Amino acid sequence: MKTKDKIINESIKLFAENGFEGTSMASIAKQIGVTKPSLYAHYENKLALFESCLEKISNEQIEFTTKILKDPNLNTAEEKLFTLLKDCSLMVSEKKYSFYNRFYFLPPLELKEIIESKLEKAATMCDELIANIIKEAVNNGEMDEQLSVEEIMYSYKCLMDGVSCRLDTYNNFDSIWKVFWRGVKPL
Amino acid sequence: MKTKDKIINESIKLFAENGFEGTSMASIAKQIGVTKPSLYAHYENKLALFESCLEKISNEQIEFTTKILKDPNLNTAEEKLFTLLKDCSLMVSEKKYSFYNRFYFLPPLELKEIIESKLEKAATMCDELIANIIKEAVNNGEMDEQLSVEEIMYSYKCLMDGVSCRLDTYNNFDSIWKVFWRGVKPL
DNA sequence: GTCTATACGGCGATAGAC
DNA sequence: GTCTATCGCCGTATAGAC
């Protein structure tokens, strides 16, 4: 792997674990096995490096969500949405989704606008994909037509936020899913 | 208000907004209108100040949860749990619950153990209070007896985590609550 | 592109006068 | 208890040799 790619990959992990201010250029360099100034040969400064991380994570998030929700092996909305919930949570342990969550939920004030602008596209696209699944499920009777798409959407996204901010507590998703599904299926 | 109390109150807000490393002693001093060394007359160092914040927040969290769940004006489990969910979320904008969440969900690695030990009591006590409400509701038929207390507990706590980590998205709690309650009430 | 050496600023913390 | 002045450290970032 090229140095530039190593830098990005390790930076994502370190930023996810320690935050922006908690991650020093020295610690990134050490992790890769180069010296600090080498980083500046590939990225103008710390902020530029961080922005590249945001872009990579944003693209991966879209790719990941699309792959699951358009997977031909997953037939029902229930299968698709459950798999997405579970896999997002598993991604937290790979330090990728936790990067997304950390900076989405708790952006450092001075980076807030940059982060929002870089992650907005992923957030919008993923929301749209999920909304389409829900619409279809309401129409074909898999979910209760007495509920609006917005109501289901808010609930599902709340589950996603909940499970992804505290992984260890939710090693068993089945309970959470059971209650949610009782709530959205036709009575 | 005494200087010592001013320090704690402003520190909680600043730590909640900017994290531990993102909050300098200088910024706390400036916010209060004193100089940096004055802080050290009241707290031994930055960590000791932070630990005092943790203790205050932990106590307030217990007090707050107890007040709602034991409120004689709230009669049903549904009223109590809905009120708790909503008010926790509103507390985020007062920078108190967001302090709790920030350090509970994303503790800086070197402070992880200290934070857990200081917030453990609040977490355990609040969980117990909630579990009792749920048990009672399952027993008196307000919730479906085919669901276990654990299943409902996981789901409710997931909602709490979800709504409190992203306040702006959930200004309308009714949708989320509607789906949850359909999920737990008797069929 | 990578290194050694270094500039410069902000940080936590302290000394000592009032 | 509060201040001014200052220390030592570590952070980002750069200069310049190889």
What pLDDT shows up at residue B168?
63
Reply yes or no on whether the pLDDT at A79 is more than 70.
yes
Q: Confidence band (pLDDT; 50, 70, 90) for A90?
A: confident
User: Shortest CA–C1' contact from B48: which nucleotide?
Assistant: C12
User: What is the C-alpha end-to-end distance of chain A, expressed in Å?
Assistant: 54
- Look at residue A109 and tell me whether its pLDDT is greater than 70: yes
Going by C-alpha positions, the residue among B159, B166, B54 that lies closest to residue B104 is B54
B147 vs A: CB within 8 A: yes
Contact assessment for residue B120 and residue A121, using Cβ atoms and an 8 Å cutoff: no
Closest residue (CA) to C1' of nucleotide D3 is B35
Nucleotides of D under 7 A from a protein CB: 1-5, 10-16
**CA-CA-CA-CA torsion sign (A147, A148, A149, A154):** negative
Report the residue of chain A nearest B161, measured CA to CA: A162
Predicted pLDDT at A95:
75
> Residue B184's closest chain A neighbor by CA?
A179
Query: Residue B157 pLDDT more than 90?
Result: yes
**What is the rounded CA–CA span in Å between residue B88 and residue B84?**
6
Q: Is the pLDDT of residue B169 over 80?
A: no
DSSP state of A53: H
Q: Answer yes or no: is B30 CB < 7 A from strand D.
A: no
pLDDT tens column, A137-154:
999 999 999 999 999 999
Nucleotide of closest approach to A22 (CA, C1'): D11
Mean pLDDT of B101-115: 94
Whether the CB-CB separation of B8 and B60 falls below 8 Å is answered with no
**Which of strand C's nucleotides are less than 7 A from any protein C-beta?**
1-5, 10-16
Query: Cβ of B75: how many Cβ atoms within 10 Å?
Result: 9
Residues contacting residue A108 through CB under 8 Å, at least 6 positions apart? A19, A20, A21, B18, B19, B22
CA quadruple A168, A169, A174, A178: dihedral, nearest 10: -150
What pLDDT score does B172 carry?
79
Q: How confident is the model at residue A112 (pLDDT cuts 50, 70, 90)?
A: very high
pLDDT at A168 exceeding the cut of 80? no
Measuring CA to CA, which residue among A97, A103, A78 is closest to residue A164?
A97
Any idea which residue has 């092996």 for tokens? A73
Question: How close is the nearest chain B Cα to the Cα of A179, in Å?
Answer: 5
- Max Cα separation, chain A? 63
For range A105-114, the mean pLDDT: 94
How close A44 comes to chain B (CA, Å)?
Answer: 23
Q: What is the pLDDT of residues B18-70, one digit of tens each?
A: 999 999 999 999 999 999 999 999 999 999 999 999 999 999 999 999 999 99
Q: Is the CB of B25 under 7 A from strand C?
A: yes
B18 versus A94: the higher-pLDDT residue is B18
Q: What is the DSSP letter of B170?
A: G
Structure-token pair, residue A36:
């600090």
Taking an 8 Å cut-off on Cβ atoms, the answer to whether A109 and B187 are in contact is no
Domain A55-184, CATH 1.10.357 — does that match? yes
Task: For residue A106, list chain B residues with Cβ-Cβ distance below 8 A.
Answer: 19, 102, 106
B 24-83 residues inside an 8 A Cβ radius of A = none
Q: Could you say which architecture CATH assigns to the domain B54-184? A: Orthogonal Bundle (1.10)
Q: Is the CB of B76 under 7 A from strand C?
A: no
A182: nearest CA in chain B? Answer: B183
B129 to chain A, minimum CA–CA distance in Å? 18
Give the C-alpha separation, A177 to B135, whole Å. 20
Among chain B residues, the shortest Cα distance to A103 is held by B106
Pairwise CB contact (< 8 Å): B154 & A162? no
Strand C close to A35 by CB, under 7 A: yes
pLDDT band at B90 (very low <50, low <70, confident <90, very high): confident
Q: Strand D closer than 7 Å to the CB of A25? A: yes
Question: The tokens of B164 are what?
Answer: 């409190």
Chain B residues whose beta carbon lies within 8 Å of the beta carbon of residue A176: 154-155, 158
Whether the Cβ atoms of residue A66 and residue A83 lie closer than 8 Å to each other = no
Q: Tokens 């009223």 appear where?
A: B79
A135: Cα separation from own chain's centroid = 22
Separation between Cα atoms, residue A46 and residue A40, nearest integer Å: 8
Residue spans per domain, chain A:
55-184
Indicate yes or no: CB of A162 within 8 angstroms of CB of B162. yes
Structural contact between residues B62 and B121, judged by C-beta atoms closer than 8 angstroms: yes
A47 touches strand C (CB under 7 A): no
